[in-house]
Structure 1
């Protein structure tokens, strides 16, 4: 199969995207596919022409463009199948405030939050109790993620994010553990993979803990009671369907000591190296990295 591997781009997660693309290219080439790696920064206008000359595209983009649905919409115009969710689902998942609004409407528990599309007027104070997490509304990879304990720290975090022209999401900190769970399958046939328990080495699961060699421990399968594992998996499928996603996704949760589960956000293009979270979950089910990639592509081609 002639596969257009789309990566890079110009988001803050560009380098992470390219690193994952190298692993994808190696795995797909080893399985006999003809892979063309295309960095969106090397001429965005070339995408449509390249897409028309390939059997399918594999997207390994993080942030905007890519997770916002733009590239997916262009590929559809070019008649080029691609793995994963369509433009609408991609956009709703990337926009954390939109995703959380849909969670609330669907009865999926999520931490209380405030959405700030612009800097509030002087004198504004949050209605949420400290400590809080402050993050970019459309960012990822824990870049520009802040834990704040008081008004002064909150204002410094807002200054940083608004200086970068970012929309801001403020979220209540839920004490407990971080658990993530992948979902794979065509609409109506989704299956949840084994959840992963994330044990940060630092105060929280930040960029360093995600990507450094001495970062967080990622335990798969998560050492949870069977009934709790089942609840995490059911919640991951519910979040996936709530946003109208297809192919695969990964939902991040907070799990309290009392067993309460809160959905944080859903990633429609999760990391794709053999050491990434979804591939780890697939490996626990006996699915190797190359097989996982081909499975995701098969959904695109057959659809």
Structure 2
């Protein structure tokens, strides 16, 4: 097939996306596809409008990649693509909206509130409300951002204003939620709509206090245990919850669902990643490797699943 790979982009996750894109490009070439490489920027939209390919593989992360905007553009010009459509991408990117959907459908979520931080003069009243509603420690982060960018674990009241200001640099809405202490897990999901299944659960052991940007992307920043050493019943629940979360948001082809098992042994869902990191050493390929699927075969599987689903996505 002739496949365009969109990678790079303009979000705070650009460097990760460059690595993801290179991995995808190499795998597609190894599988015999003709590849068009595009380091995407909204300022060069003509590159997309002029594409003549069979399929688009989106290797972007964060804004203008993971939030449904590029998916909407591809829908309008009739180009099929790998992965989730506009609505599911936008919902997954909006942490507050996705948490509401999960909670309404029986999944455990951390207590949270969302605040509009578009007007700086209101930061002081927002700070007071946060301190009134939440007990230390708690988390302040942008509502729509990836890779823990702009996130602060607030351990002292004096940190609140600075955390609000930092999160507000990335988004006009911030999410405040209880800090959940426990074991970090992630579950890849793959398959055609209605026939999805979960791959082995991965436990993430970060070298820092939590799974932050450095833990995710710097060499030796975290340890991945695949499959996670948890009870069979917990493995089954995590995999079942991951597939349910994927389906509730209407995701397509693949996603990765993040959890924390709290001190009460409950799996608290954090978020669904519709375009998870896909470097050869990323979490999703690690899990696939555990069931005998190579990185190249995994990328080819995504292409095959997308080939069956060439109808326009919504």
Same fold (TM over 0.5): yes
Correspondence 1:38 to 2:38: yes
**Residue 161 in 1 paired to residue 163 in 2?**
no
Q: In 1, distance between residues paired with 2:234 and 2:265?
A: 7
Structure 1 distance, partners of 2:273, 2:175, is 16
SS at match of 2:124: coil
Structure 2 gaps, min length 5: 310-314
CA distance in 1, matches of 2:184, 2:288: 19
Q: Does 1:21 align with 2:27?
A: no
Instruction: State the shift of 1:117 in Å.
Output: 2.2
Question: CA–CA distance in 2 between the matches of 1:222 and 1:177?
Answer: 10
Q: For structure 1, which segment, 256-265 or 228-237, has the greater mean C-alpha deviation from structure 2 after superposition?
A: 256-265
Distance 1:77 1:297 in 2: 21
Q: 1:262 Cα shift?
A: 0.5
**Corresponding residue for 1:235?**
241
User: Matches of 1:184 and 1:12 in 2, distance apart?
Assistant: 26
For residues 108 and 230 of structure 1, the distance between their equivalents in structure 2, rounded to whole angstroms, comes to 14
Tell me the secondary structure at the aligned position of residue 122 of structure 1: helix
1:41-190 matches, within 5 Å, as 41=41, 43-50=44-51, 53-118=52-117, 120-123=122-125, 124-126=128-130, 127-190=133-196
**Kept after mapping to 1: 8 A contact 2:123/2:164:** no
Q: Distance in 2 between matches of 1:238 and 1:199?
A: 25
Instruction: Give 1:167 shift.
Output: 2.1
1:72 Cα deviation after fit: 1.1
Which residue of structure 1 lines up, in the alignment, with residue 256 of structure 2?
Answer: 250
CA RMSD of aligned residues (A): 1.3
Distance 2:278 2:59 in 1: 7
Gaps of 5+ in 1: none
State the Cα distance separating 1:150 from its structure 2 match.
2.3
Distance 2:86 2:172 in 1: 21
Deviation of residue 161 (structure 1)? 2.1
> CA deviation digits over 1:163-202, x for unaligned, max 9?
4554211111112111000100011100001011011111
Task: Give the C-alpha shift of residue 45 in structure 1.
Answer: 2.5
Change (3 A) 1:164 1:59: closer
Q: Distance in 2 between matches of 1:60 and 1:152?
A: 39
Q: Secondary structure at the match of 1:125?
A: helix
- Alignment check: 8 A CA contact 2:150 2:170 kept: no
Counterpart among 272, 277, 294 of residue 288 in structure 1: 294
C-alpha distance 44-264 of structure 1, shift in aligned 2 (>3 A) = same
TM-score norm. by structure 2 comes to: 0.92
- Structure 2 CA distance for aligned equivalents of residues 165 and 143 of structure 1: 11
Q: Is the 8 A contact 2:164 2:174 kept in 1?
A: yes
TM-score (norm 1): 0.96
